Chain A
């Protein structure tokens, strides 16, 4: 049989509403739409005589995969599902106790300023197990009355409800590559090409990505989604808006020891360790399961930032380790968070399209909350779509602004987002000023905040020499680089070792190699026949790059050292966290980093995240 590609025409299909990405926002949208259409069905314009054709395409191989666990106030979710706390959603429980912990550094490897060290010394006598419990949880941060959930399990439960209602079709394993335009109007989406090689060249079983034309395209593909990116490229961002602040959240779901004293509903927020910039969490689910993880932000200048290595040190902090020792990893995963909030808000609606969820700038970085806000944005669009359908009005920019945008601007998502808008500015000058900035914004309802000139994410990464000149002697630095050059260690591991971070003593259960976490916890898989979705724009920039931040920060070790000092990408290890998009210190155009993150199939298969 010949492997020569044969000419295959691109298929086209017309539907009424095309949705991209099945997360909490899309759950809120489709739940609202389904309920309304179940009561009073609408006729399809795309297929006259048929009910309204609503399709949702999701990249991940299952509707429960590729997402994360969470503690949330769940106000919007509860408005949709008043009985959810007593429902059959596994791993869901009400928040019962909550505390904020400042973690001291028991190792001495953490990069702490002189001021912080003085503060640490003062706090030390008041601490227990190298942690200082804040006397109360600030009002703007607390999740009292909220829920601890697994978004994987919640998504699956919502999907089951939706499929039973039968109004919307949910198609997993279906990456969408871009929006289709007619002028500035979005007229649908194009699915990813199949049967192509790594570079995207057609192979024997080539199938061009189908064009799905729709009157309304709903974009909920998250902060690094390809369709959202394609709209931003075409239409730009509102004046003064940009996505400059990011974090990667990495976590494990662990089974705690049988005699654990931790109650379901326990919620801990941490800061201060393993690096001052890294925030952490521990949420206890029912049946001795717990989510434990960290957020590594873009404003941490360390070019050797390795979320996985830091996560292992975090779990071994004495305050946590006394509960985690003897635990077993059940699941592991990571995702990028869009931490710009409202300053990263794109155009929310235009002719033929609307944006919901995290990619629409709904995440609130003062309250540390995004899931409930995302759900709320979906509900608002659902109500707006129903309103327009009932009135027989088209999904034009004007009509969507009069309905969806009006609801958004009048919502608590907007109100609280405005309070949080500049709350994190201080972190660009350090932890202490960051905390002061948060407190100012939080306690003044956003009236006060610290000013900051925030550079693009790629410029927040310091050069290797500059960063480590303050941590290591020249000979230590040179030795670490030589060790990395020999191939025995990765550069970030060699540098962390040199900074005094101890080797991880693998126990095979909780402390496992990065590769084992990928296989045992993430259960990562990628179907063949799709192009590489991580692309290095200018290889010569990579050749000259000393920082190698993309390799350090790659959650799945999918990016490694390749030939000619260029990074190599292995699609089969990618968890689609999108961290590479903003963890590159170089830019050819001064705006975007040297890494492109496109639509791709596969990723995490864990349903417990």
Chain B
């Protein structure tokens, strides 16, 4: 079997986690001024993208697509940062902002877009994404997408993939109890929901950015508009995760003492 991959990374766009978020309740909750909040590629999916680029670079003939569903303007904004990181081809889907969408409807739109990628070879297909999401999604989109595409080899919480000479690959997958499970897959297609992986965020490379941008602008221009069906989904309420902050600046305090103090504070 030829040792190359067609890797499709699914990544959503989420508000920059450093922003002040303000849920607005309604039939479908939203975030106040979400279109004007700086956005980033979902950090979990970003890990998947960097792993995919690394894998593609190691295996000649591999191709990498980034499939993303978000408002075109938001996608364009995020691509200005992401495009500088690694080479990819964008498949843009012009959809609503926000994570308060039905995972089945999102997966259906993604499945349709992926099925329409010209030249995608199913037997070499690796479908990448984050195993979790920083958006308000239910965290099952990738699994549902895999099912819709008829891919039944699915791995979640992946930290590492190692490819053998025969094209099979070994996957290190997080399981309960802080342990890893090692699986061997004969080949594509497979779904890999990435945890953090092992790679650092790549440096910005303006030449990669320029090269990507030649494909990104046309991809954005021909992005198909989709309307996601709520499928009867309704929300009772939306709120931010509760947090409690207490800051104290200390100097010359031993680490053990700081650790003791934090533990006591948590126990309160």
Contacts and interface: CB of A to CB of B under 8 A. Distances in A.
Interface of A: 11, 13, 61-65, 90, 153, 156-157, 159-160, 163-164, 166, 169-174, 191, 194-195, 205, 207, 210, 212, 330-331, 487, 513, 515-516, 519-520, 523, 525, 527, 529, 605-608
B81 interface: yes
Contacts of A172: 80-81
Interface string B232-268: 0000000000000101010110000000000000000
Contact of A516 (B76, B77, B201, B245): B245
B116 interface: no
B80 A170 contact: yes
A173 B245 contact: no
B206 A212 contact: yes
Given A174-B84, A520-B245, A205 B200 contact: yes
Interface of B: 16, 18-20, 33, 36-38, 73, 76-77, 80-81, 84, 200-201, 203-207, 209-210, 213, 217, 245, 247, 249, 251-252
A529 B207 CA distance: 18
A4 to B, nearest CB: 16
A63 B20 contact: no
Given A331-B20, A513-B247, A516-B245, A210 B73 contact: no
Nearest to A525: B18
A411 B162 CA distance: 64
Contacts of B247: 513, 515-516, 519
Contacts of A205: 200, 203
A173 B245 CA distance: 29
B140 to A, nearest CB: 30
A289 B4 CA distance: 54
Contacts of B37: 607
B16 A605 contact: yes
A63 B77 contact: yes
Contacts of A164: 73, 76
Contacts of A523: 18-19
A607 B206 contact: no
A527 B33 CA distance: 26
A520 B243 CA distance: 12
Nearest to B83: A171
A125 B53 CA distance: 72
Given A63-B77, A160-B77, A169-B80, A194 B203 contact: yes
Contacts of B217: 166
A495 to B, nearest CB: 19
Nearest to A57: B206
Nearest to B15: A607
Contacts of B16: 62, 605, 607
A90 B33 contact: yes
B223 to A, nearest CB: 12
Nearest to A212: B206
Contact of A171 (B19, B33, B206): B206
Nearest to B33: A90
Given A62-B81, A605-B18, 16 more contacts: A11-B206, A11-B207, A61-B38, A63-B77, A166-B217, A169-B209, A169-B213, A171-B84, A173-B81, A191-B206, A210-B206, A210-B207, A331-B20, A520-B245, A523-B19, A529-B203
30 contacts: A11-B205, A11-B207, A13-B206, A61-B38, A61-B81, A63-B77, A64-B36, A64-B38, A65-B38, A159-B77, A160-B76, A160-B77, A163-B76, A163-B80, A164-B73, A169-B209, A170-B80, A171-B84, A174-B84, A207-B205, A210-B206, A487-B251, A515-B247, A519-B245, A525-B18, A527-B201, A605-B19, A607-B19, A607-B37, A607-B38
